[in-house]
Amino acid sequence: MTAPALELRNVHKSFGPAKIIQGVNLTIPKGEVHAIIGPNGAGKSTLFNLISALHPLSDGEILLNGETITGKRPYQINRMGLSRSFQVSNIFTNMSVRENVRCGVLYSMGLGYSFLKNVGNLKEVNEKTAQILDEVGLIDKANLPAALLPYADQRTLEIAITIAGGADVIMLDEPTAGMSHSETDRAVELIGRAARGKTLLIVEHDMGVVFGLADRISVLVYGEIVATGKPEEIRGDPKVREAYLGDETIPGDEEVTA
Amino acid sequence: MTDAATTNTATTHTDWHALEPSSAQKFRERVLPFIIAAIVLAVIPLMGPSRTTLTLLNHMGINIVFALSFNMLLGRAGLLTFGHAVYLGLGGYFCVHILNWIDGSEGLMQHLPVFSLPIFGFGLGALAGAIIGYPSCKRAGTAFAMISLGVAELMAACAFMFDTIFGGEMGISGDRMSGPEFLGLSLGPLEEVYWFIAFWTLFGTIAMYAFTRTPLGKLSEATRDNPERVQFIGYNPTRVRYLVFIFAGGFAGLAGGMAAVQDEIFTPESMSLIPSGVVLIAAYVGGIRYFSGPIMGAILLTYMQSNLSDYSSAWLLYLGLMFIVIVMFIPNGIAGIVFGFWNGLRSPNRGAMMARWAGQGVAVVLMFMSIVVLVEVAIRWSEGYGETFEAFGMSFSFDSILTWALIVLPFAAGVFLMRRVTRKDEVPV
């Protein structure tokens, strides 16, 4: 049996006296699309930052493909095959779209910190870059400065950079936040394509997106996972209903019953 | 590659060449400027420049390399340093020592051509960058800037203390005519030093431009824009900064090696905060967002440093004013103006733009004139020798109302005109 893509064992995180994550256990098998939902302030983003090592753990352990990543630096974890996006667009604003993606490709192509090669002449790197740009639909805007892209395109570029390195575990933090309906539909389609054959962990507020994409869903409330299961199980779970009572409508009701 | 493989590539991959600039464009943007620069450098001696001009040109070359190396940090990596002269100074000192070793050597050293000294300057600058950069690159932003300031103070203090290495206040000097000739250059006369400087200026500029095209050069820009994100594409931002810092130190040391041959002397002053500040001003005035910006800034500042004092004893004041004005109103510097002008000339609404530039130009001249009158009148008044400032066929006495009218009115008119012309499309942020 192969190791799960991602395994969280009794993960705790406190900021001073505030206990944000209180004992999260989660196992995500390879190839699964897993969504984390929960009310505001539940600790979803903190959990993401713990997995990607932006914050150190207070207690517990996290394993990526069976190897512990506790104590590793973000770039080391990235090299082990985990890549993430951010809630706010986190791109290289002064570079062109193509250069953004190319930077994401370089390390995985073995270029490292090379200072003896001309990036313009790296055939494989530029091919891969063009291929990713084509995949996400940004090829027509390849030579625009990234800062001039419309918001939805910046979010798409964010995803493009995230997948550029070829990581097999992808974490997306609210990839459709702030998008219109049609933009969201396009983003969902893109995420579905990009995640094919990969493990995807996603935090999302749009329940339509969550129930459309996820194989399994975990519900995080006040730093604890109250339920994990298939979308239909989650929708019927009384604990989930309780957590969402008065916060928002029951996840995905209207989309799926309609 | 076999035919099958080629077809395969063509069908499964998007044609990335279409995204690249055309080869004509590449040539125009990446090769032609260097060819033109080489031609200019080759033509200058034909015009029979005087010794003063040659010295000025040589210093320009040194400062171009120095300012470009500074901009590897500030412009490309987003690292503000107040101590970049340390690396020029260390490289330069090392090269003066080598001059003396060549001179006094009976052994292997006597065969070392002085022409190659900048390579050693590069080596020592890079070594110093590797040692000093290791702790200081652990932090970016304000902390990095403060550390660089501390290091600069420390090194300048050391230079005054360790006489055997740095020669105390008098510094150390050498003789550039030592050692074997290289390419028939004895490096004695200034004309020959010119060729030496021209070669290394061009070499340094091309090498630093090439650096911007490497993966590390690109990553340095990515780290400047977004260090957090760089971690999630597999790079350690600290490592990126550190490597760039070593190269920046190396090229500063290269400039130091050039200066050692040109001036044949290095003093502890050269490592102090003053040259570190001057290179910052040169790079910023030229425009740190453009590769060629620091080149323009270095040329202008070197010229001002050596010639402006002939015109006015208040030249440092003008330099300071220019720096403040550029920081406040022209953040893209001279290069920004030059390229903006060039692009504007080729844009469809060039008529409107030219009218605007003309208006802005007149406004700048008006304001500049009143500032000159103010400064020159004030400085003569304060000196108290009873001298009056004379210009435009008039004499400006500090107690005449006309003088003050000529200070206030053109300035007010200039501000008014500038606001009118600029208001329409730009809101200062």
Is A103 at the interface with chain B, CB within 8 A?
Answer: yes
Distance from CA of B251 to the nearest CA of A (A): 14
The pLDDT-based confidence of A245 (bands split at 50, 70, 90) is low
Kindly report, residue by residue over B82-140, the tens digit of the pLDDT. Answer: 999 999 999 999 999 999 898 887 777 878 888 999 999 999 999 999 999 999 988 88
The pLDDT-based confidence of A17 (bands split at 50, 70, 90) is confident
pLDDT confidence of residue A70: 87
Which residues, numbered 151 to 170 in chain A, qualify as contacts with chain B under a Cβ-Cβ cut-off of 8 Å? 161-162, 164-165
A86 contacts A116 by C-beta, under 8 angstroms: no
Residue B409 zone, left/alpha/beta (φ > 0; ψ -120 to 50; rest):
alpha
Residues in chain B: 429
Compute the average pLDDT of residues B405-425.
Answer: 83
Compute the average pLDDT of residues B308-323.
Answer: 86
pLDDT confidence of residue B91: 95
Kindly report, residue by residue over A100-147, the tens digit of the pLDDT. Answer: 999 999 998 888 898 888 888 888 898 889 989 988 888 888 889 999
Q: Do A115 and B243 touch (CB under 8 A)?
A: yes
Assess whether pLDDT exceeds 50 at residue B10.
Answer: no
Distance from CA of B265 to the nearest CA of A (A): 33
Query: In angstroms, rounded to a whole number, what is the distance separating the alpha carbons of residues B204 and B251?
Result: 7
pLDDT confidence of residue A1: 54
Assigned token pair, A39:
């009310």
| Three-class DSSP category at B48 | coil
pLDDT confidence of residue B211: 94
Where do the structural domains in chain A lie, given as residue ranges?
1-81+167-258, 85-164
pLDDT confidence of residue B8: 39
Is A136 at the interface with chain B, CB within 8 A?
Answer: no
Compute the average pLDDT of residues A63-70.
Answer: 90
Kindly report, residue by residue over B253-266, the tens digit of the pLDDT. Answer: 999 999 999 999 99
The pLDDT-based confidence of B6 (bands split at 50, 70, 90) is very low
Which residues, numbered 204 to 233 in chain A, qualify as contacts with chain B under a Cβ-Cβ cut-off of 8 Å? none
Query: In angstroms, rounded to a whole number, what is the distance separating the alpha carbons of residues B79 and B264?
Result: 31
| Three-class DSSP category at B387 | coil
pLDDT confidence of residue B373: 86
Assess whether pLDDT exceeds 80 at residue B179.
Answer: no
Q: Which residue of A has its CA nearest to B289?
A: A94
pLDDT confidence of residue A92: 92
**Sequence-separated (6 or more) residues with CB below 8 Å from residue B252:** B66, B69, B70, B84, B85, B87, B88, B91, B125
Distance from CA of A147 to the nearest CA of B (A): 11
Kindly report, residue by residue over A202-224, the tens digit of the pLDDT. Answer: 998 888 888 888 899 999 988 88
Closest CA to A185 of A212, A158, A163, A167: A212
Higher pLDDT, B157 or A89: B157
Integer Rg of chain B from CA:
25
Angle subtended by helix axes B315-329 and B350-383, to nearest 10: 150
pLDDT confidence of residue A117: 86
Compute the average pLDDT of residues B284-289.
Answer: 93
Assess whether pLDDT exceeds 50 at residue B45.
Answer: yes
Q: Which residue of A has its CA nearest to B11?
A: A131
Q: Which residue of A has its CA nearest to B234?
A: A75
Is A93 at the interface with chain B, CB within 8 A?
Answer: yes
Compute the average pLDDT of residues B1-20.
Answer: 52
The pLDDT-based confidence of B12 (bands split at 50, 70, 90) is very low
Higher pLDDT, B185 or B116: B116
The pLDDT-based confidence of A258 (bands split at 50, 70, 90) is very low
Q: What is the mean pLDDT of chain A?
A: 86
pLDDT confidence of residue B163: 84
Q: Which of A113, A120, A131 sits opposite B216 (nearest CB)?
A: A113
Ranked by mean pLDDT, the top range of A29-43, A81-95, B276-290 is B276-290
pLDDT confidence of residue B425: 56
pTM of the model: 0.88
**What b/e sequence results for A85-123 when a residue is b if at least 16 CB atoms lie within 10 Å of its CB, and e otherwise?**
bbbebbbbebbbbbbbbbbbbbbbbebebbbeeebeebe
pLDDT confidence of residue A207: 83
If you ran DSSP here, which 8-state letter would residue B148 be given?
Answer: H
pLDDT confidence of residue B20: 79
- B112 — phi, psi (to 5°)? -80, 120
Assess whether pLDDT exceeds 70 at residue B173.
Answer: yes
Compute the average pLDDT of residues B151-172.
Answer: 88
Q: Which of B214, B215, B222 sits opposite A95 (nearest CB)?
A: B222
Q: What is the mean pLDDT of chain B?
A: 87
Is B217 at the interface with chain A, CB within 8 A?
Answer: yes
Domain A1-81+167-258 has CATH 3.40.50.1110: no
The pLDDT-based confidence of A83 (bands split at 50, 70, 90) is very high
Is B235 at the interface with chain A, CB within 8 A?
Answer: yes
pLDDT confidence of residue B69: 96
Query: In angstroms, rounded to a whole number, what is the distance separating the alpha carbons of residues A217 and A224?
Result: 14
Q: Which of B13, B14, B225 sits opposite A94 (nearest CB)?
A: B225
Is A84 at the interface with chain B, CB within 8 A?
Answer: yes
Assess whether pLDDT exceeds 60 at residue B1.
Answer: no
Assess whether pLDDT exceeds 70 at residue A248.
Answer: no
Query: In angstroms, rounded to a whole number, what is the distance separating the alpha carbons of residues A209 and A202?
Result: 10
